[in-house]
Chain A
Amino acid sequence: MARWYNDPGLRRLVKERKAGDLSRREFLARLGGTAAGAAAVSFAGAGPARAQKKVVVTTWDTEPNPSTRAAMKAIVEDFHKLHKDIEVRAEGMGWGDMDRKLQAAMAAKSPPTASHTQTYVVTSFRAKGLIEPVDDIVKAIGEDKIFPSVLRWLKYPDGKYWGITHAWGAEILGGRGDYLAGTGVNPQSWKTWDDWLRDLPKLNKAPQHYGLSLAGIPFFVNEDVYMWTGANGGSLFDAKGQPALESPQVLGMLEFWKKLKPYLPPGWASHDYLETLSAWATGKTAQVLMWGRTAGYIDQYAPPDKRNPDVFQVWPKTHGPMGKAPLTQFDNEPWVIYADAPADEKAAGREFLKFFFKPENYRKHCDSVPVHILSIFKSDFQDPSYLNHPERKRWKPWLDAQLKWVEMGRAHPLLVCNPSDMLVPWIGDVAAAPILADMVMAVVERGKDPKAAAKEASDKISRDIIGKAKG
């Protein structure tokens, strides 16, 4: 605590107080500001750095798991060795926390320097002037080194990139291979929703296990709404960005969901996403819509002899009667730079992100959750040192399935059924609101007529989101 004496401001304040030049009230009032600044510096042990003012870069990412935090910490420490004038504070948090914190920060015009976000959020933020292009970062990384299917969702009609993906993944349909015995089901033959519905009863042995597990929380219901609408040849928005929920394709999606309901756990509407993964890992469900991170749940909950892709297989997604090809979700979470952050912090943040994407650093990030955080670089998928990671080797069919989606071009970001949907300015607001999920629940759980539910949802989007956006 004696370090406070090294601060000239505090020393002068105490001297004035002792000399009687300051009243107690004045001393206390000035002490608050002076002492807080001095304490922050002294407790941080940054005495020597006071002579060299550091630019503080704040990054918020959505990978709070311990292994990714450790990787990020190592990357930041290496960056500090090369940039002694910059201090990076990298904070990991869940998506729910990120959303709330960002709202508060941006409303106060005090955002972090950079953060992860969702692709549809980039559209909304760009429309509101809240973020800046990142062409310099993409160029430094090497535009031609990145999967085109990653970059395509971040380049807007102005020709600029408005985010740079930290890692990608594609959602896959997981199925229990050990539940096929004796059923006569061959999932690899599935092409259409009718094929899937035909075989679901054979995979459903309630209450021991159910045919399919879905999450009922609004965010995850939204995922299934747009994927199945896209698989049915439709979109949630028309050419002008207005809701197109009364289209035959969306109504067909709602009717399809009603037909799935008998094969879902009875409490599915209250299940969150992670519950569906543990249900699959523990054998309570034959199928689940999942991501690479599910491998961790299998290791945690499944019997040791079953922790392999022969049991936990990838089965094909199917398309609806009005569609020609299935659609899956592309998890393409980009880093964005916030326009309201101070200029020096933004410049330093860009330097950090260029460093982050250097091969030796980026590999640490990807290896932290190997089957889920997939590299944006094409070359890594030809690189034995990347592919031979034990987890990537073990779950190779999952990796191959995700790559195939990307190569097919039918992996789209959330709510983007058609590529043009990316430009709908309020797509992020629609994604955050529970309107689409309420529509599904009204039809599937409360028996409402799909047309009436779709109309009600359309009216709410028009009034509560688009109407407010224009106001």
Chain B
Amino acid sequence: MPSAALVLAFTIFPVAYNVWLGFHAKHSLRATSAWVGLDNYAQILADTDFWRSVWLATEYAVASTALQIVAGVAGALILHRRFPGCDFLRGVALFPYMIPTVIAVFVWRWLMNDLYGVIPYVLGALHVPFMPDAWLAHSTIMLVLIILSVWTFFPFVLVNVLARLQTIPPELYDAARVDGASAVRQFFHVTLPQLRNVLLIVLLLRGIWMFTKFDVPWLLGFGGGAGEAIRTLPVFTYQRSFTYYQAGMGAALSNVMLALLLMAVTIYFVAFPPEEDHNDA
């Protein structure tokens, strides 16, 4: 009973209340609300700002997830080998993931600041070509958001992939070498198939988490100014509830976000059904 009550209180009830609220117009400062049926959803679908926020969230999620996977797999492959200092490096590699997000974002804001930032200063001193005048401007802030997110979250991929790498039987690589496979062919024909299931799960989780990520884009851009260029769907939803004071509309937006994610996850599992692990060559 207590566990059922906890599940009800912290999972089912908030979701059900949110669905109910999405059918109402409610000012965030008032306790009362008014039934509006599907009006909130109709307005959402007709709002170009909503579609723009979906696009920005998708762009952010796809780019940052893909780069996290690449960085995480590359890091895991390096750290899978034994070399002097590899244990120390394994600890250091986790460091970005352990820092509280607010600290990580604020440090990056200062690193990229156009007046005081170390990174623009160093890039300027090295006369690196094609550098923007300001990294946290409209045209470049999304790039900074993606880089910052990859740096912060790639250790999650690294840890999961590294754990899987260590369970791959070495006989598979021996057999591949006997067959004359180069290192690259071993990666594509032995390593990658063995990593398939863990990569599918990591891709799914990171994709969902990046699509629904609020804290990083909000702290980097504050929802406006140059931050308008990274006003992803979670930020847009937050602003509807807490800056437009439209709790009902905010609830409807989060319901739409949930629906979009459920659709994406369904398509994902149809396209990439999980396979049983086979450790045969």
In the assembled complex, the Cα of A230 lies from the Cα of B116 at a distance in Å of 34
Given A218-B224, A284-B115, A432-B244, A106 contacting B137 (CB threshold 8 A)? no
Query: Would A103 and B242 count as touching, CB distance under 8 A?
Result: yes
User: Does chain B have a CB within 8 A of A128?
Assistant: yes
Q: B134 contacts A266, CB within 8 Å?
A: yes
A269-B244 CB under 8 A given contacts A103-B28, A218-B224, A434-B224: no
Are B30 and A106 interface neighbours, CB within 8 A? Answer: yes
Assess the B114–A433 pair: CB atoms within 8 A. no
A265 touches B222 (CB 8 A): no
B224-241 CB contact bits vs A (8 Å, 1 = yes)? 111110000000000100
Residue of B30, B132, B225 contacting most chain A CB atoms (<10 Å) = B225
Contact A434 B228 (CB under 8 A): yes
Q: How far is the CB of A29 from chain B (nearest CB, A)?
A: 10
The listed residue (B27, B109, B242) touching A128 by CB distance below 8 A is B27
Chain B residues with CB under 8 A of A284: 115-116
Residues of chain A within 8 A of B242, CB atoms compared: 99-100, 103
Interface string of A258-280 (1 = CB under 8 A from B): 00000001110111100100010
Whether A269 lies near B243 (C-beta < 8 A) is no
Cβ of A185 within 8 Å of any chain B Cβ, yes or no, is: no
A16 within 8 Å of B (CB atoms): no
- By a CB distance below 8 angstroms, the chain B residues around A270 are 109, 134, 136-137, 141, 221, 225-227
Interface presence of A446 (CB below 8 A): yes
| Bound CA–CA A286/B73 (angstroms) | 49
List, in ascending order, chain A residues with CB within 8 A of B222's CB. Answer: 217-218, 272
Knowing A441-B138, A445-B137, the reply to whether A266 touches B114 (Cβ < 8 A) is yes
Given known A216-B226, A218-B223, contact A269–B30 (CB-CB < 8 A):
no
Q: A102-B29, A270-B141 given as contacts; is B134 within 8 A of A437 (CB)?
A: no
Name the one of A106, A265, A433, A468 contacting B243, with C-beta atoms under 8 angstroms. Answer: A433
Partner of A107 from the list B30, B36, B225 (CB cut-off 8 Å) is: B30
Q: Does A464 count as interface, using CB distance less than 8 angstroms?
A: yes
Q: Give the Cβ gap from A433 to chain B, nearest Cβ, in Å.
A: 5
Residues of chain A within 8 A of B118, CB atoms compared: none
B25 within 8 A of A: yes
Contact B25 A269 (CB under 8 A): no
| Residues of A close to B134: CB separation below 8 A | 265-267, 270
Q: Does A109 sit at the interface, judged by CB under 8 A?
A: yes
Q: Which residues of B contact A7 (CB under 8 A)?
A: none
A422 within 8 A of B: no
B228 touches A438 (CB 8 A): yes
For A429-467 the 0/1 string (1 means CB < 8 A from B) is 100111001100100011000000000000000011100
Q: Select one of A102, A266, A275, A438 contacting B133, CB under 8 A.
A: A266
Q: Which residues of B contact A106 (CB under 8 A)?
A: 29-31
Q: Is the CB–CB distance between A445 and B226 below 8 Å?
A: yes
Given the known A-B contacts A265-B134, A432-B245, are A130 and B226 also in contact in the complex, defined by CB atoms under 8 Å? Answer: no
A103-B28, A269-B138, A445-B137 given; A437·B225 CB < 8 A: yes
Judge if B65 is at the interface, Cβ distance under 8 Å: no
Question: Nearest CB to that of A429 among chain B residues?
Answer: B245
A4 to B276, CA, bound (A): 58
Question: Do B29 and A107 have beta carbons less than 8 Å apart?
Answer: yes
B31 lies within 8 A of A109 (CB): yes
Is A51 an interface position by the 8 A CB rule?
Answer: no
Distance, CA A429 to CA B225, complexed state (A): 18
Cβ-closest chain A residue relative to B114? A267
State in angstroms the CA–CA spacing of A453 and B88 once bound together.
Answer: 54
Interface size class of A (residues with CB under 8 A): 35 or more
Give the CA-CA distance A445 to B133 in the complex, in Å.
13
122-165 of chain B: CB within 8 A of chain A: 132-138, 141
A157 at the interface (CB under 8 A from B): no
Knowing A99-B242, A267-B134, A445-B137 are in contact, say whether A216-B225 is a contact too (CB < 8 A). Answer: yes
> A36 interface residue, CB < 8 Å from B?
no
Is B34 in contact with A471, judged by CB distance below 8 angstroms? yes
B31 touches A107 (CB 8 A): yes
B8-32 contacts to A (CB < 8 Å):
25, 27-31
B113 at the interface (CB under 8 A from A): yes
Assess whether B194 is interfacial by the CB under 8 Å rule: no
A221 at the interface (CB under 8 A from B): yes
Chain B residues near A130: list those with CB within 8 A. Answer: 29
Q: Does chain A have a CB within 8 A of B190?
A: no
Distance, CA A284 to CA B115, complexed state (A): 7
Asked if residues A464 and B225 are in contact (CB atoms below 8 Å), the reply is: no
Candidates A100, A128, A446; contact of B138 at CB < 8 Å: A446
Check A221 against B245 for contact (C-beta < 8 Å).
no
**What are 26 A-B pairs with beta-carbon distances under 8 A?**
A103-B29, A106-B31, A107-B28, A107-B29, A216-B225, A218-B224, A218-B243, A266-B114, A266-B133, A267-B114, A267-B136, A269-B225, A270-B134, A270-B137, A270-B225, A279-B115, A434-B223, A437-B224, A441-B224, A441-B226, A445-B137, A465-B244, A468-B25, A468-B246, A468-B249, A469-B27
A265-B115, A438-B224 are known; give 15 further A-B pairs, CB within 8 A. Answer: A99-B242, A107-B31, A128-B30, A221-B224, A267-B114, A267-B133, A269-B138, A270-B221, A271-B225, A275-B113, A432-B244, A434-B228, A438-B228, A464-B244, A468-B27
Taking beta carbons and an 8 Å cutoff, which residues of B are in contact with A? 25, 27-31, 34, 36, 43, 109, 113-116, 132-138, 141, 221-228, 239, 242-247, 249
- Using a CB–CB cutoff of 8 Å, the interface residues on chain A facing chain B are 99-100, 102-103, 106-109, 125, 128, 130, 215-218, 221, 265-267, 269-272, 275, 279, 284, 429, 432-434, 437-438, 441, 445-446, 463-465, 468-469, 471
